[in-house]
């Protein structure tokens, strides 16, 4: 499938079917921890990158195959809200199924009223907030010129006022960068202003191709939970896992997921063993095929091997069968 991947399992969203609306990598930010690598050219113009009807048709087909889903999650190879027409897609998906719809976004475009409007039908929106100050926002998120920290906070706060669904803010906690008491108190102050339903702390457990990012210590994670809990409900960070039980084409399902984010080798092995109990060679077979494709390799992160895309070989629109090119804006 070109747009739909998974299901992927996580503590936050259970069994979630992913829908990727963007050509890689299309983003308004260039986060230091980004698993997709450096943002070589920022994208700021919203567009219907791929025909909405084609995406909807794929979601329809995936819903025929995958049963027991908890969420359908719109998430992009970049900033999801760059896709103009996501509001239409959310509305159409809700006509097809009662499975709730979530949108993962960096939130940078929420200062625009038409972007907020497109999200109103979603059941949950998960925007990023990694900093409580302009300086840290610039250090971590590195937005395109013209997007400011205040704009980001005011966009989130305006969305909260207009949106009746679940607003779950994601905070990526980075060792030695935004895990000091000062940074956490700044973050708590802006969270109070925004008033989300919950904060999910997430950790940089996957390798970032651009630079080495450290995990925060257990003491710092506990401290973050304590400080942020003073202003909102905080969900403890936990890693998700992969579920391949309903994948009709195993290799395709695995490569679709690894094309979008690094996957821990242990997690991949477990998912394959769960899918084919007793077939001990199955995991090795899949991994050998992945190596033979030449598009994937193993790297080490935090002492753990991960499967990643070979740098410079991210899935291009041509490879993935997609025809549209994104509007690119030089930094
Ligand atoms: S917002 Fe997401 S896709 Fe964009 S640079 Fe940051 S982590 Fe990467």
CATH number at residue 305: 3.20.20.70
CA separation for the pair 314, 33 (Å, rounded): 17
Look at residue 314 in the predicted model and tell me its pLDDT: 41
With left for phi above 0 and alpha for psi between -120 and 50, is residue 304 left, alpha or beta?
Answer: beta
In the prediction, which pLDDT does 238 show? Answer: 55
Does the pLDDT at position 288 exceed 60?
yes
Residue 47 has pLDDT above 60, yes or no: yes
pLDDT tens track for 164-184: 999 999 999 999 999 999 999
Q: How far is CA 112 from CA 83, 107, 118, 234, 314, in A?
A: 14, 10, 10, 27, 30
Distances (CA, A) of 45 to 104, 120, 318, 327: 18, 21, 21, 7
34 touches ligand 1 (CB under 6 Å): yes
- What is the pLDDT confidence band of residue 324, given thresholds at 50, 70 and 90? very low
Residue bearing the CA closest to ligand 1, atom 2: 78
DSSP one-letter string for 209-258: SSS--PPPPHHHHHHHHHHHTTTS-EEPP---EE--TT-SSHHHHHHHHH
Summarize the confidence of residues 205-225 as an average pLDDT.
Answer: 86
Q: CB of 106 closer than 6 A to ligand 1?
A: yes
The angle that helices 218-228 and 181-194 make with each other, rounded to 10 degrees, is 30
How much is the mean pLDDT over the chain?
A: 86
Determine if ligand 1 sits within 6 Å of the CB of residue 39.
yes
246 within domain boundaries: yes
**Whether the CB of 78 sits within 6 Å of ligand 1:** yes
Name the residue with higher pLDDT: 287 or 258. Answer: 287
Enclosing domain of residue 201:
4-320
Q: Residue 27 Cα, ligand 1 centroid: separation in angstroms?
A: 6
Residue 285 CA, ligand 1 centroid: distance in Å: 32
Tell me the per-residue pLDDT of 122-164, one tens digit each, with 9 for 90 and over: 999 999 999 999 999 999 999 999 999 999 999 999 999 999 9
Best residue among 24, 34, 108 to mutate for probing ligand 1's pocket (most ligand atoms within 8 Å of CB) is 34
What percent of the chain is predicted at pLDDT more than 90?
A: 57
pLDDT reading at 282 higher than 60: yes
Q: What is the pLDDT of residue 315?
A: 38
Considering only the C-alpha atoms of the chain, give the largest distance between any 2 of them, rounded to a whole number of Å: 55
Indicate the number of domains in the chain: 1
Of 282 and 253, the structure prediction assigns the larger pLDDT to 282
pLDDT, tens digit, 9 for 90 and up, residues 93-131 = 999 999 999 999 999 999 999 999 999 999 999 999 999
**d(CA 206, ligand 1 centre) in Å:** 13
Cβ of 42 less than 6 Å from ligand 1: no
Residue 142 lies in a domain: yes
Are 167 and 125 in contact by the 8 Å Cβ rule? The answer is: yes
Confidence grade of residue 247 (pLDDT, cut at 50, 70, 90) = low
Ligand 1 atom with minimal separation from the 28 CA = 4
The verdict on residue 88 lying in a domain is yes
Average pLDDT over residues 81-87: 97
| CA–centroid distance, residue 106 to ligand 1 (Å) | 7
pLDDT greater at residue 281 or residue 243: 281
- CA dihedral over 21, 24, 29, 31, signed as positive or negative: positive
Domain membership flag for residue 330: no
Q: Is the CB of 213 inside a 6 Å radius of any atom of ligand 1?
A: no
**pLDDT at residue 106, rounded to an integer:** 98
Confirm or reject: Cβ of 140 under 6 Å from ligand 1: no
Whether 97 maps to a domain, the answer reads: yes
Assign 81 a pLDDT band (cuts: 50, 70, 90): very high
Q: Would you state the pLDDT for residue 207?
A: 76
Q: Is the CB of 30 under 6 A from ligand 1?
A: yes
Q: Judge whether residue 318 has pLDDT over 60.
A: no
| Whole-number Å distance between alpha carbons of 231 and 191 | 7
Predicted confidence (pLDDT) at residue 83 exceeds the cutoff of 90: yes
Determine phi and psi for 74, rounding to 5 degrees. Answer: -85, 125
User: Which residues are within 8 A (CB) of 230 and not within 5 positions of it... i.e. 6 or more apart?
Assistant: 188
**Residue among 21, 22, 32, 36 whose CB has most ligand 1 atoms within 8 A, to mutate:** 36
- Kindly indicate the confidence band of residue 331, based on its pLDDT and cuts at 50, 70 and 90: very low
pLDDT at 302: 65
In the prediction, which pLDDT does 325 show?
Answer: 28
Whether 199 is covered by a domain: the verdict is yes
CA 49 to chain centre: 18
Whole-model pTM: value is 0.78
Q: Is residue 219 a part of any domain in this protein?
A: yes
Per-residue tokens: 11? 């503590």
CA atoms within 13 A on the CB side of 196: 31
């Amino acid at each position: 499938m070109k747009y739909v991947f998974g299901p992927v399992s996580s503590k936050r969203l259970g069994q979630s079917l992913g829908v990727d609306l963007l050509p890689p990598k299309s983003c308004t930010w260039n986060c230091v921890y980004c698993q997709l690598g450096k943002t070589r050219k920022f994208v700021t113009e919203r567009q219907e990158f791929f025909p909405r009807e084609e995406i909807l048709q794929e979601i329809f087909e995936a819903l025929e195959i995958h049963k027991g889903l908890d969420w359908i999650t719109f998430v992009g190879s970049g900033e999801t809200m760059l896709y103009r027409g996501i509001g239409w897609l959310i509305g159409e998906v809700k006509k097809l199924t009662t499975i709730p719809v979530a949108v993962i976004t960096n939130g940078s475009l929420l200062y625009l009223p038409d972007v907020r409007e497109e999200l109103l039908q979603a059941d949950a929106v998960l925007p990023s907030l990694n900093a409580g100050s302009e300086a840290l926002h610039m250090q971590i998120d590195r937005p395109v010129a013209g997007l400011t920290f205040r704009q980001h906070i005011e966009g989130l706060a305006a969305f909260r006022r207009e949106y009746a669904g679940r607003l779950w803010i994601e905070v990526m906690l980075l060792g030695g960068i935004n895990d000091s008491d000062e940074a956490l108190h700044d973050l708590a102050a802006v969270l109070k202003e925004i008033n989300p339903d919950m904060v999910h702390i997430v950790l940089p457990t996957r390798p970032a191709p651009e630079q080495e990012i450290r995990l925060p210590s257990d003491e710092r994670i506990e401290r973050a939970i304590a400080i942020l809990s003073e202003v909102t409900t905080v969900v403890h960070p936990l890693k998700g896992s992969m579920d391949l039980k309903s994948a009709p084409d195993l290799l395709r399902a695995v490569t679709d997921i690894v094309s979008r984010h690094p996957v821990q080798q242990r997690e991949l092995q477990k998912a394959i063993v769960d899918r084919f109990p007793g077939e001990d060679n199955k995991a090795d077979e899949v991994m050998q095929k992945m190596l033979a494709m030449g598009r994937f390799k193993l790297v080490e992160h935090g002492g753990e091997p991960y499967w990643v895309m070979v740098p410079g070989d991210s899935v291009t629109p041509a490879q993935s069968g997609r025809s549209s090119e994104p509007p690119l804006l030089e930094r």
